[in-house]
Amino acid sequence: MADRSRAGPVAGIVTRVAAAVIDLGVVLAMLGVALLVVAGLRFAWSPVSFSWPAPTWAHSLGVGAVLAALYLTVAWATSGRTVGAGVMGLRVLSARGAPLAWSRATLRAVFCVLFPLGLLWAAVSARRRSVQDVVLRTAVVYDWSDDAGLRGGLP
Amino acid sequence: MTGGPTGPVEADRWAATEVGVGAALWAWQVTRPVRTAAGSAAGAMAGAVLALTPPDVRSALTERARSGRAAAEELASALLRFAVRGVVAAVVDAVDLTELVRRHVDLDAVAAGIDLDAAVARVDLDAIVRRVDLDAAVARVDLDAIVRRIDLDGIAARLDLDALAARIDPDRVVARVDLDAVLARVDVLGIAREVVDGIDLPEIIRHSTGTLTSDTVRTVRREAMQADEVVAGIFDRLLRRHLPRAPAPPAPLPS
């Protein structure tokens, strides 16, 4: 069994899906902000011929995927938790219980963006590990600490 | 003064005096014819002498007699005054006048005869009051000492304050108060600003929303954890796994 000195029990599928949905909302918001930034740049560049950008689905998907990968990488490599994980009280650690390095955080982020359905394996897995956890030897644990508004840790 | 013997020696003296007086009266009575005859003779002789005396001598004598009588009267008057003064002084010395008056004078009757009303009516009280220097009199009064002697607690204990308060009409008192003037003097805006300054509104909002968020998030997390357990149990049964599930909630974590 891996060292879980920093970790609580491994989180279940419902909590992790909820966190992922919140993170999806965050990425969509980032996408909207990116659209506004592009529109502003275009207006500043040529106000006369300005028209709202109308990205194709492929463009939106591509930009969204890149933004999501960047967001997840930075979040996991620094605090070990995204916004969704922070709300749901989760933290992503290595199987030894250590914070993820940038390399492993990048790989996990890209893997999650390309194959999000890998998360569902956590429901089937006896040790609640997603495909990404199995491949990259990571774990998602309950961690209610480091919350400014939350005191007393887990119930 | 009522005479009378007061002792044996005094009695003897008194008896002798009475005998002497009796003898003198008897002699005076017995010698009456002699005195009458002598008087008639003297009168006749005086008439003869007067008849023989020349008129100028007679008038001179008369004048002399008159002046002599005046001098004698004057002398007698002076002597009498002297004697009376001495007697009165002696009497006053000898007699306790106060005791005498007390014994023989009906003072009540005297007082009843005095018309005090008339006496008082004659008194000019205004003039008396005008002559009194009230300021000086008041200045000499030690009010502190007087107040110290007053039992204020005792006086207060005797006062029925409830009855006094019951007689006060609060409505009339309040009606006389000019609330507008009072409010005009109050810096309501300044007070309100001070109160608002004293309240750390951002801290209150932060604390309340923090608590709200904390409670909401905690509830959501707990519900999700329970759902995790339920889903895990379902998959365990589907896959016919028999894994030990931790029924107790996870322990607090070190940060």
Decide: A45 and A54 in contact? Cβ < 8 Å: no
Stated as kind and residue range, the H or E segment containing A90 is strand A90-94
CA separation, residue B230 to residues A15, A21, A39 (Å): 12, 20, 47
Q: How far apart are CA A60 and CA A65, in angstroms?
A: 8
pLDDT number for residue B179: 80
CA distance B250 to A115: 30
Three-state secondary structure call for residue B1: coil
What band does B170 get if pLDDT is binned at 50, 70 and 90? confident
**B235: closest CA of chain A, how far (Å):** 6
Question: Which residues does chain B have within 8 Å of residue A6's beta carbon, measured at their own beta carbons?
Answer: 253-254
Nearest CA in chain B to A155: B249
* CA atoms of B181 and A139, how far apart (whole Å): 75
Q: Does B244 touch chain A (CB under 8 A)?
A: no
What is the tens place of the pLDDT at every residue in B1-47? 445 566 778 888 888 999 999 999 999 999 888 989 999 999 998 88
pLDDT of residue B3: 52
Q: Bigger pLDDT: B88 or B243?
A: B88
Rounded to an integer, what is the distance from CA B137 to the centroid of its chain?
Answer: 13
Q: Residue A122 carries which side chain, given as an amino acid letter?
A: A
Taking an 8 Å cut-off on Cβ atoms, the answer to whether A12 and B222 are in contact is no
E strand or H helix that includes residue A44: helix A13-45
Instruction: Tell me how many helices (H) and strands (E) chain A has.
Output: 6, 2
Give yes or no for residue B50 having a pLDDT over 50: yes
Which of A128, A145, A151 shows the shortest C-beta gap to B253? A145
- What average pLDDT does this structure show over B82-103? 86
H or E element that contains A93: strand A90-94
Residues in chain B within 8 Å Cβ distance of A13: 228, 231-232
Three-state SS at A139: strand
| CA distance to A42, B45, B218, B242, per residue, from B52 (Å) | 191, 11, 176, 202
Q: Structure tokens of A119?
A: 């998360």
* Chain B residues 46-105 with CB within 8 Å of chain A: none
Contacts of A147 in chain B (CB under 8 A): 214, 217
pLDDT in tens, B190-237: 888 888 888 777 777 777 766 667 888 889 999 999 999 999 999 999
